[in-house]
Chain A
Amino acid sequence: MAITSIKNLKEFSTNNDRFEGAHTLCPGCAHSMIVRELMNCTDDNLVISANTGCLEVSTAVYPFTSWDTSWIHIGFENAATAVTGAEAMHKVRKRKGTLPDNDAPVKFVAFGGDGSTYDIGFQWLSGAMERGHDFTYICLDNENYANTGGQRSSATPIGATTSTAQAGSHSYGKKEKKKDIVAIMAAHGAPYVAQLAPNKWKSMAKGFQKALEIEGPCFINTVSPCTTEWRFDPKDTILLTDLATESLMFPIYEILDGHELNILYRPKNVLPVEDYLGAQGRYKHLFKPENKHVIEQIQGDIDKNWEMLQRREEARI
């Protein structure tokens, strides 16, 4: 199977982009960094589907398409369903020998935002994972419905202000915790589940390659800072991702076969979560004296989660 070399960044940069510019994603959007990296880490033919969301509306603005591969958009929730249907069809046609090139390797990938993965497309994704199709689902997690004006989703962390969970005199923003989608997907018994971040390009590219290579349903959650709704300067996208991984708000790890957990990145100096929260406008209100307890709660949750991940890694079960 043809997979391009990723020994170092120079080697990686010899790949020819299959995701074109002049899409209409915001300047500094991390979605396209993640998509480009996925398409550059393999030479195989790709069949991609996308849920409705920023990525879909921005890369297929009639009459233009930014995709140099097969790409389909249908409903808000159906990326997993559509791509598994294509995969089943490909399997049958391969068996019958009716494909133009029977030996050409094809990989099936679905992209979804956090709204369509955590909430609206959850049932369809769960079904596709259970049916065991050979595909990779990548969630571009920007923690809100950014395409429609930044409403809260079940990926929005506690304390963040969104257009439907506004911070003000009676509220500190969203009151509910973020759903642990990685654990839920691992509980499906998927062969490869991971949480990755674009600032660690190598672990991300390796994770993508692993997911494409492994036969069976794979799920990858990627953090994708949203300059519009997280309210930071577009140039700071990578800085924000750095802060997210260094403060362990987004730990980078993988789970194999539903139980074997490996931590892929351990920060040398763990930053306090205030550094990450303070860099974004959506958490500004948490620094008022009356909301200090929310920051403490977030830090406590992060510490507990990191402890849990480390113990699970040690236990090797």
Chain B
Amino acid sequence: MQDLKLRANDNRGLSQLEAGFDLLGWHEITQGSILHSFDGDATNIVNLKAEERTYSGYNSYTATVASWRVDKPVFNIDVCIDCQNCWVWCPDSSIISRDKQMLGIDYDHCKGCGVCVEVCPTNPKSLLMFAEQRELGEALSQWPEKKKKEEKN
């Protein structure tokens, strides 16, 4: 197999062909293949945060599925209580949490499913879905007010 010396993040936003992958044809692939997730030693990976790791070009962390999205979740840090519900239920490992704090969304890996918005317990929600082309500032300026409990008659 050819050597793919692509640094992490280098090919973000590009398709595989644009990124310079010279893919093997079906008749050239030998039976069984190994994809190394990391460059160099990978024994201590569990103790390293994503930004400290040396991802190889084979790791899907270096790829993107941003084009799948129709709506994007927008995160409002002022309302967030760091409950981490979105982190535990995000199917795409796209919620960036460090030191028990929710920092934001990894828009390279988010597919816009909206699970994080559904499980957000705050009032108003600290994550809301907006159309993909909306600017972040514009979305934040349209954040709804706190909903009052409906009075019982």
A residues bordering B, Cβ < 8 Å?
Answer: 9-14, 16-25, 27-33, 36-37, 43, 45, 59-69, 101, 104, 198, 201, 233-239
The A-B contact count (CB < 8 A) is: 146
Contacts of A11 in B (CB 8 A): 100
Between-chain CB contacts (< 8 Å), 25 pairs: A10-B83, A10-B84, A13-B100, A18-B46, A19-B93, A20-B37, A20-B61, A21-B61, A21-B65, A21-B94, A21-B109, A24-B65, A27-B92, A28-B111, A29-B91, A32-B93, A63-B4, A63-B23, A64-B58, A68-B42, A101-B43, A235-B113, A235-B114, A237-B91, A237-B113
**Interface mask (B23-47 → A, CB under 8 Å = 1, otherwise 0):** 1000000000101011000110111
Cα distance, A190 to B132, chains bound together (Å): 49
**Interface mask (B76-90 → A, CB under 8 Å = 1, otherwise 0):** 000000111101111
| Shortest distance from the beta carbon of A7 to any chain B beta carbon, whole Å | 12
| Shortest distance from the beta carbon of A298 to any chain B beta carbon, whole Å | 26
Is the Cβ of B106 less than 8 Å from the Cβ of A9? no
B residues bordering A, Cβ < 8 Å?
Answer: 4, 16, 21, 23, 33, 35, 37-38, 42-43, 45-50, 57-65, 68, 82-85, 87-94, 97, 99-100, 106, 108-115, 117-119
| Shortest distance from the beta carbon of A43 to any chain B beta carbon, whole Å | 5
Is the Cβ of A12 less than 8 Å from the Cβ of B88? yes
Is the Cβ of B91 less than 8 Å from the Cβ of A28? yes
Is the Cβ of B114 less than 8 Å from the Cβ of A28? yes
- Contact partner of B59 (CB less than 8 A), chosen from A28, A30, A64, is A64
Is the Cβ of B37 less than 8 Å from the Cβ of A21? no
Is the Cβ of A33 less than 8 Å from the Cβ of B97? no
Task: Evaluate whether A10 and B91 lie within 8 angstroms (CB atoms) in the complex, with A16-B47, A63-B23 already known.
Answer: no
Cα distance, A201 to B90, chains bound together (Å): 12
Cα distance, A67 to B114, chains bound together (Å): 24
